[in-house]
Chains A and B, each alone.
Chain A
Amino acid sequence: MDHAQRERLSALVEELTTSGQPQLDQSKMKDVKKICKASSDYVEHFYNLLMSRLAEEHAEVRLSALQMAGELFSRSHHFRTLLVSSLQEFLELTVETDPEQPLPPPKEAARRLKTLAIRTVQDWQAAYGQAYKKLALGYHFLKQVKKVDFQDVQARTLAERKRQEEKQKRLERIYKDKVTKATTEMEETSAEIQECLTEMDSCLKLLMPHPLEFSLSDLEATPTAPMHCGKSASPAADDEQPCCSKDLNDRGERVEEEGSSEEGSDAEDIPDEDMFIRQTGLMSHKYSLSLNLSTDMSLKETEENEAVVNTVRDLNRVISTKHLPAVRSWVQVFTKAGVDQQLLSRAITCKSALEEALQRHEELHIHYKKRERRVMRAGADGEEDEEDDDFVEVPEKEGFEPHIPDHLRAEYGLDPVTSLFVAPAKPAPGSVTQPTPQPKRRATEDELDPTCAAATLRMLKQRLLSDQAAGPSSSQGASEGAETTSEAAKQDADRERAPVVPFDVDLYYWGQEQPTAGKIFKNISQHQFWIPHEIQEEVENKELSAQMKSRFITFAGSFQPVSHKCRTPMPSGSLCERQDRVKCPFHGVIVPRDELGRPVNPADAARLEEERMKRVEEQPDWRDRELMREIEAATGEDLGSSRFYGKGKKGSKGKGKKRKYPNLTDLKQSANTSRSRLERKVFNKSSMRRVTEAMNRMDQRKHEKFANQFNYALN
Chain B
Amino acid sequence: MLGFLFARQTGLDDPLRLKRAESTRRVLCMELNQDRDVERIHGNGINTIDIEVIEGRYMLSGGADGVIVIYDLENHSRKPQYTCKSVCTVGRSSRHVHKFSVETVQWYPHDTGMFVSSSFDKTMKVWDTETLKPAEIFRFEGNIYCHQMSPIAKKHSLIAVGTKDPKVQLCDLKSGSCIQVLQGHRGEILSVRWSPRHEYILATASADSSVRLWDVRRATGSLFALDQHNGDRSKASFANMAHNGRVNGLCFTADGLFLLSAGTDDRMRLWKAASGENTLVNYGKVANETRKGLKFAVSQGCSPEFAFVPCGSSVAVYALHTGELVTMLRGHYNNVDCCEFHPDYQELYSGGKDCNILAWVPTPRKPDVEDEGQRSTTAESESTLNPAFEDAWSSSDEDG
Interface residues of A (CB under 8 A from B): 27, 30-31, 33-34, 37, 74-78, 85-86, 88, 91, 97, 127-128, 130-134, 137-138, 140-141, 144-145
Complexed CA–CA distance, A254 and B394 (Å): 93
Q: Which of chain B's residues has its CB closest to A141's CB?
A: B333
Q: Chain B binding site: helix, strand, loop or mixed by DSSP?
A: loop
- Residue B40 interfacial (CB < 8 Å): yes
Listed stretches B146-154, B156-164, B278-286, B353-361; interface member: B353-361
The reply on B390 being an interface residue by CB < 8 A is: yes
Residues on B with C-beta less than 8 A from A77 are 388-391
Give bound CA distance, A172 to B174, whole Å.
59
Residues of chain A within 8 A of B390, CB atoms compared: 77
Task: State A78–B390 Cα separation when bound (angstroms).
Answer: 9
Tell me which of A34, A91, A127 contacts B400 (CB under 8 A): A34
CB distance from A244 to the nearest CB of B (A): 80
Residues of chain B within 8 A of A86, CB atoms compared: 330
Provide a sorted-by-A list of 30 A–B residue pairs whose CB atoms are within 8 angstroms.
A27-B400, A33-B400, A34-B397, A34-B398, A37-B398, A75-B392, A75-B393, A75-B394, A75-B397, A76-B391, A76-B393, A77-B390, A78-B391, A88-B330, A88-B332, A88-B333, A130-B388, A131-B34, A131-B386, A133-B32, A133-B33, A134-B331, A137-B333, A137-B356, A140-B356, A141-B333, A141-B354, A141-B356, A144-B43, A145-B353
A130-B388, A134-B32 known; A33 vs B333 contact (CB < 8 Å): no
In the docked arrangement, what's the CA distance between A131 and B384, Å? 12
Q: Give how many B residues have a beta carbon under 8 Å from the other chain's beta carbons.
A: 28
Q: Which residues of B contact A34 (CB under 8 A)?
A: 397-398, 400
Which residues of the partner chain B approach A137 to less than 8 Å between Cβ atoms?
32, 331, 333, 356, 358
B89 within 8 A of A: no
Query: Which of these, B33, B354, B386, B400, contacts A145 with CB under 8 Å?
Result: B354
Q: Which chain B positions have C-beta within 8 A of A138?
A: 333
Q: Which residues on the A side are within 8 Å of B32 (C-beta)?
A: 133-134, 137
If the complex has contacts A131-B388, A141-B334, are A30 and B313 also in contact, measured as CB distance less than 8 A?
no
Residue of A nearest to B32 (CB): A133
The smallest beta-carbon distance between B363 and chain A, in angstroms, is: 12
Minimum-distance CB pairs A-B, first 6: A131-B388, A30-B400, A141-B333, A33-B397, A128-B388, A37-B393
- Residues of chain A with a CB closer than 8 A to B330's CB: 85-86, 88, 134
CB distance from B395 to the nearest CB of A (A): 11
Beyond the given A33-B400, A130-B388, A134-B330, please list 19 additional residue pairs across the A-B interface where CB-CB is below 8 A: A27-B400, A30-B397, A30-B400, A33-B397, A37-B393, A75-B391, A75-B394, A76-B391, A77-B389, A78-B391, A88-B332, A127-B388, A130-B386, A132-B388, A133-B33, A133-B331, A137-B32, A138-B333, A140-B40
Q: How far is the CA of A532 from the CA of B394 in the complex (A)?
A: 130
- On whether the beta carbons of B393 and A33 are closer than 8 Å, the reply is yes
The smallest beta-carbon distance between B392 and chain A, in angstroms, is 5
> Shortest distance in angstroms between A43's beta carbon and chain B's nearest beta carbon?
9
Closest CB in chain B relative to A54 CB, distance in Å: 17
- B317-336 CB mask vs A (1 if < 8 Å, else 0) is 00000000000001111100
B33: chain A residues within 8 A (beta carbon): 133
CA A78 to CA B393, docked complex, whole Å: 12
User: Are A74 and B392 closer than 8 Å at their CB atoms?
Assistant: yes
The residue in chain A whose Cβ has the minimal distance to the Cβ of B36 is A133
Contact A133 B354 (CB under 8 A): no
Nearest chain B CB to A101's CB is how many angstroms away?
Answer: 13
Contact B313 A88 (CB under 8 A): yes
Task: Identify which of residues 253-312 in chain B touch chain A, using a CB-to-CB cut-off of 8 Å.
Answer: none
Measured CA separation A433–B386 after assembly (Å):
115
Question: Please, how many angstroms separate the alpha-carbon atoms of A508 and B398 in the complex?
Answer: 118
Complex Cα distance, B353 from A131, in Å, reads 24
Give the residue name and chain of the B residue nearest to A37 (CB): B393
- Are A144 and B333 in contact, CB atoms less than 8 angstroms apart? no
Residues of A within 8 A of B388 (CB): 77, 127-128, 130-132
Nearest chain B CB to A29 CB, angstrom units: 9
Tell me if A144 and B355 are in contact (CB < 8 A): yes
Whether the Cβ atoms of A31 and B400 lie closer than 8 Å is yes
- B63 to nearest A CB, angstroms? 13
Q: How far is the CA of A271 from the CA of B21 in the complex (A)?
A: 129
CA gap between A377 and B10 in the complex, in Å: 137
A131 to B382, CA, bound (A): 12
When distances are taken between beta carbons in the complex, the residues of chain B under 8 Å from A76 are 391, 393
- Bound together, the chains give a CA A134 to CA B34 distance in angstroms of 9
Q: How far is the CA of A134 from the CA of B358 in the complex (A)?
A: 10
Q: How far is the CA of A128 from the CA of B358 in the complex (A)?
A: 19
Distance of A76 Cα from B32 Cα, bound (Å): 21
CA distance A133 to B358 in the complex (A): 10
A127-B390 Cα distance, complex, nearest whole Å:
12
Across the interface, which residues of B come within 8 angstroms of A75, CB to CB? 391-394, 397
Contacts of B40 in A (CB 8 A): 140, 144
> Across the interface, which residues of A come within 8 angstroms of B356, CB to CB?
137, 140-141
Residues of B within 8 A of A127 (CB): 388
Which B residues touch A78, using CB under 8 A? 391
Residues of B within 8 A of A132 (CB): 388
How far does the alpha carbon of A558 sit from the alpha carbon of B398 in the complex, in Å?
94
Q: Is the CB of A91 within 8 A of B333?
A: yes
Beta-carbon nearest neighbor of A87 in chain B: B333
- Chain B residues, CB < 8 A from A145: 333-334, 353-355
A35 to B358, CA, bound (A): 37
Name the residue of chain A whose CB is nearest to the CB of B392.
Answer: A75
Please give, as numbers and ranges, the residues of chain A lying within 8 Å of B398 by CB-CB distance: 34, 37
Residues of A within 8 A of B313 (CB): 88
Kindly list chain B residues whose C-beta atoms are within 8 Å of the C-beta of A31: 400
> B268 CB to closest chain A CB, in angstroms?
23
Contacts of A141 in B (CB 8 A): 333-334, 354, 356
CA gap between A144 and B334 in the complex, in Å: 12
Bound: A568/B43 CA distance, A:
83
CA–CA, A207 to B394, complex, Å? 92
**Distance A75 CA – B390 CA, assembled complex (angstroms):** 8
Q: How far is the CA of A97 from the CA of B354 in the complex (A)?
A: 11
Closest B residue to A130 using CB positions:
B388
Shortest distance between the CB of B84 and any CB in chain A (Å): 14
Q: C-beta contact mask, B243-256 vs A, less than 8 Å → 1, else 0?
A: 00000000000000
List B residues 325-380 near A (Cβ within 8 Å).
330-334, 353-356, 358
**CA–CA, A193 and B32, complex, Å:** 78
Residues in A with CB closer than 8 Å to B332 are: 88
A131–B32 Cα distance when bound, in Å, is 12
| A78–chain B nearest beta-carbon distance, Å | 8
Bound complex: CA A77 to CA B400 (Å): 21
Q: State the CA gap A138–B394 with chains docked (Å).
A: 27
A141 to B358, CA, bound (A): 12
Measured CB to CB, the closest approach of chain A to B61, in angstroms, equals: 16
**A643 to nearest B CB, angstroms?**
57
Residues of B within 8 A of A133 (CB): 32-34, 331
How far apart sit A77 and B387, CA to CA, in the bound complex (Å)? 10
Minimum CB–CB distance from A71 to chain B (whole Å) comes to: 10
User: Which residue in B333, B391, B396, B397 is a CB contact (below 8 Å) of A97?
Assistant: B333
* Bound CA–CA A336/B47 (angstroms): 48
Q: Which residue of A lies closest to B400 (CB)?
A: A30
Bound Cα distance A74, B388 (Å): 9
A76 CA to B400 CA in the complex, in Å?
A: 17
Contacts of B393 in A (CB 8 A): 33, 37, 75-76
B313 to chain A, nearest CB (A): 6
Q: For the complex formed, measure the closest distance between the CB of A416 and the CB atoms of chain B, giving whole angstroms.
A: 87
- Specify which chain A residues have a CB less than 8 angstroms from the CB of B386 in the assembled complex: 130-131
| Alpha-carbon separation in the docked complex, A694 to B393 (Å) | 73
Residues of B within 8 A of A140 (CB): 40, 356
Q: Which residues of A contact B333 (CB under 8 A)?
A: 88, 91, 97, 137-138, 141, 145
Say yes or no: B334 contacts A131, CB within 8 Å.
no
B313 (CB) vs chain A CBs: closest residue? A88
Query: CA separation between A55 and B339, bound complex, in Å?
Result: 30
Cα-based distance from A86 to B313 in the complex (angstroms)? 11
In the docked arrangement, what's the CA distance between A145 and B358, Å? 15
Q: How many angstroms from the CA of A140 to the CA of B354 in the assembled complex?
A: 9
